[in-house]
Each structure stands twice: as C-alpha cells, then as structure tokens.
Structure 1
Amino acid sequence: MIEIKAIGLELKDDYIRQAIDYGANSGIKWVILTNGMNWQIYRITFSKPIDKEMVYEINFSNINPKIENHIEPIYYLCKEALGKSLLDEYHSQKQALSKYYIGQMILTETVLDVIKRELKRLTPGVKIENDEIEEALRSDVIKRDALEGDKAVDAAVSAILCK
C-alpha cells in the first residue's frame, strides 16, 4: 500500500501512524509513505500491539544513478520485484546483518569456543574461559545498544531457536 502526501510535505509521525493503521486494517504487511521526494518503506508486524519497522528510506534528491546501491532500493518497489517477494528477502538479509543479531550470535557458545581457541593459540599457557570472553565482549567490545532493548531480545530468541 502506498500513502501519498503532497510534494515536499514533511512526513510527520502522524502520517506514518495513519499509513501503518491503513495497512494493518487491510492486512497488508508492507506500507510506503511518500511525498514524492522522500519514500519511507515500512514493514508491519502483526503482533499485540501492532508494530512497524522502517526498512529503508529513499530520498530522490540524494540519488546518484551511477551508484548501484542508490538504485537497488528503488528496484525493490517495482512490480517485477514485488512479484518475486524481493522486498521480503531484502528485509530478511537486513535483519540477519543487524547489530542485534550479530551481537547475539557473537555471544553463542560456538563463537565463544572459537574465540577461546584462537586466544589460547595466540597466548599459550594463559587460562581463558568462555564467561571471561563473554564479559569482555559485553563490556568492552559490543556496543550496549546492540545487546539491550526489544530488538536485542528478539535477536536473542532467534539465536536460541537456531541452535
């Protein structure tokens, strides 16, 4: 579904909420809000309460047609790409590469074991345990926002389910 506002009109939170409500009431998981120059692409999550995620935004005044990663997001909105569910694939890839998922994956026993093995190889004779590595990662290496909040919790649940 596309919600179109007047050209140049600022895409305020009220407009976003309106577009999300229209989409949710129609059972549509993808909503686009645009004023012609700015295009915001949202994915609706049908949970309680209904939630949204801005997957990406296109500002046509900043597009350079010679740069592929400027053009690719536009392609996801064309009829051919929508028919192939490429927007869903793009969203899945973006989620998999998010700081939340990667942060949680780094803290899995498998990855901690690999880090421990490499640290032992680099520093023979030093006794290192996974919980020490995890604490160092949590406190000094991984940004706090990647490990806290709703998205981090969702990523942790996904990491557990994938074991």
Structure 2
Amino acid sequence: MLKIPKRTLDRIREGIKKYQKVMQTLQERDVSEADTVTVVKDILADVFGYDKYLELTGEQQIRGTFCDLAVKIDNKIKYLIEVKAAGVDLNETHLRQVVNYGAQEGIEWIVLTNGTCWHLYRIKFAQPIEHEEVAAFSFDEIDLRKEDDQRKTFLLSREAIVDDAMAAYHSQSQLFNRYTISQVLLLDPVVSVVRREFRRLFPDIRVDKDEIATVLTEEILKREVVESEKAKDAATKVKRTANRVARQAEKAKKKAAEKNGAGDLVASPAPQSVEAPAAEATPEVHAAD
C-alpha cells in the first residue's frame, strides 16, 4: 500500500482544483500544443512537485525527433511525457508515438496527456515491445476523497519517483486485481472450503467441488475475469505460485522431519550392554566313603 505524505496530498489536491479551471479555459479557447506544453510544465511543478527549471526538460531529442518533455532526477530521465493540445482527444496514434519514444531511449515509464487527461504506461522491453497502462485519471473526474484516485495522482509526483512508488504500485496491481482474485477463488483449497461450509449449513444437500467450481465460473464470475487473455495470464501466474508454495512447504516439512529425527537420536542415549548375572557356584558333592 502506498503511503502518501499529507503535505504531498494537500499540494496535489489544491493544485488540481486550480488547474481544473485553467484546463477548461484552454479547451474552450482550443489552444495550440505548444501552449498546452507550457501549462503542463506548470502543472508538473505546482501539482506534482518538480523543479520546473532543473528537473523538466523540454523537447527531449530522440533519434532525430523530439519528445515534448522529460522528467529528470539527479540528471537521469525517469519518464517521458508526450503532450497533445488541450482540446485534442488522446488516441492510439498518440500512444504509439510516445511508446516509440520510450522504446528507442530505453525509458520504462511514459506519460501521455493533454493537460486534463493523464495516462501512465510501463514499457515491457520484450520482442515485440509491449506496453501496459498502469494508471489513468482526468482532472474533470478525479475525486481525491477516494484512495484509489489519491494513489493514481501520487504516482506522477516527485515524491513517488524518489521512493520508486511507480514500480511498487505496478507490482501490486499486477497481483491484486480482479483477474488474480478470481483465479484464487477457483483454487482447489478455496473450493473445498466453500463445499465444507455449504455442507455445514445445508447438510441435506450434497454437492461436490466440481459443481461449485462450475457455478463460480459460469454463473458468478464475469466472463472477462475467467476467459480473457489477462485471465489466462493470471491463471498461469496463480498456478505457478501455488505450485512453488507447495514445493516450499513440502521441503520445509521434510527438513523439519529430518531435524526432529536427528534430535530424537541425540536425546535417546544408546542402549547400554547388560551383563548377565553371574551364575551361582554349584556346591561340590562328595561321594560317601
């Protein structure tokens, strides 16, 4: 769970409140991309806490072309930002553009924005290059009374970069989501618990684990969290993790058994040899004279 400093959250809250009105005005005036970039730099400074002059680089050169902004901490690029005009709806073409920038420069984190809508992506340097959305929010719809919205906005802040919060949030979101939870619910131990509780509450009704799993899959869980590609990836991840945990538990159990066995040998002294009692001397019998 991300821990957001109160001072940071207060700054974000006040800043977004201010720039909601500014961005609405820019949209109505249909300002240019260059003017939007200027305001985005102000937002990055006033809302997200960056030094406008030392940590925000305009027109970052990337192999013969330029990305609108780069965020640098300690002279190292942390993420690239592609800015579109305030009145432009962001689309897949814009996304491909900023993904290409990040891929060419080896920058893992990229942002696409028009000043109002903000999208944070992580690039996966595989073959082919892949990307995934980590967080998205809009100044028009953000509600900072909600913890989820607080976390999303915090991810773009300077404090989050210093604490490497982006990576931590991404790791957690990869595991704690509807796909993974759905697959955990379908694990045999969980289904067994449901069956046991069902039989305890309704002893006259007989159901087996397969029937319960079928109801969960076909009637309770949404198809998206069971049959989609993300669901399949989650199923593989959960199965692999469950197998690893089972192996570790078995290994620990075996090690404990061996340790206990060795302890028994130390605690129990070797049996002492018992000498047979000496036979009583047989009295001599003398023949009568």
TM-score, normalising length from structure 2?
0.52
Matched-pair contact (CA < 8 Å) for 1:37–1:60? yes
Instruction: Name the SS of the counterpart of 1:161 in structure 2.
Output: helix
Partner of 2:211: 132
CA distance in 2, matches of 1:110, 1:28: 42
**Aligned in 2, Cα 1:149/1:72: closer, same or farther, shift over 3 Å?**
closer
Partner of 2:128: 49
Partner of 1:23: 102
Out of 5, 9, 13, which is 2:92 matched to? Answer: 13
CA distance in 2, matches of 1:156, 1:46: 23
Out of 167, 176, 185, which is 1:106 matched to? Answer: 185
Pick which of 134-143 and 54-63 moved more: 54-63
**Aligned in 2, Cα 1:136/1:63: closer, same or farther, shift over 3 Å?**
closer
Partner of 1:84: 163
CA distance in 1, matches of 2:146, 2:180: 26
Which aligned pairs between 1:147-162 and structure 2 lie closer than 5 A? 147-162=226-241
CA distance in 1, matches of 2:102, 2:112: 11
Structure 1 counterpart of 2:170, which letter? H
**Aligned in 2, Cα 1:52/1:59: closer, same or farther, shift over 3 Å?**
same
**Aligned in 2, Cα 1:68/1:133: closer, same or farther, shift over 3 Å?**
closer
**Aligned in 2, Cα 1:68/1:128: closer, same or farther, shift over 3 Å?**
closer
Instruction: Name the SS of the counterpart of 2:132 in structure 1.
Output: strand
Structure 2 counterpart of 1:112, which letter? V
Q: Deviations over 1:56-114 (max 9, x none)?
A: 2121123345x253443222111221121211222233232322111111111111111
CA distance in 1, matches of 2:127, 2:179: 22
Structure 2 counterpart of 1:127, which letter? R
CA distance in 2, matches of 1:71, 1:152: 27
Q: Which has the larger radius of gyration?
A: 2
Partner of 2:117: 38
Number of equivalences: 162
Instruction: Name the SS of the counterpart of 1:162 in structure 2.
Output: helix
Partner of 1:95: 174
Pick which of 24-33 and 143-152 moved more: 24-33
Root-mean-square deviation over aligned CA pairs? 1.7
Instruction: Name the SS of the counterpart of 2:227 in structure 1.
Output: coil
TM-score, normalising length from structure 1?
0.89
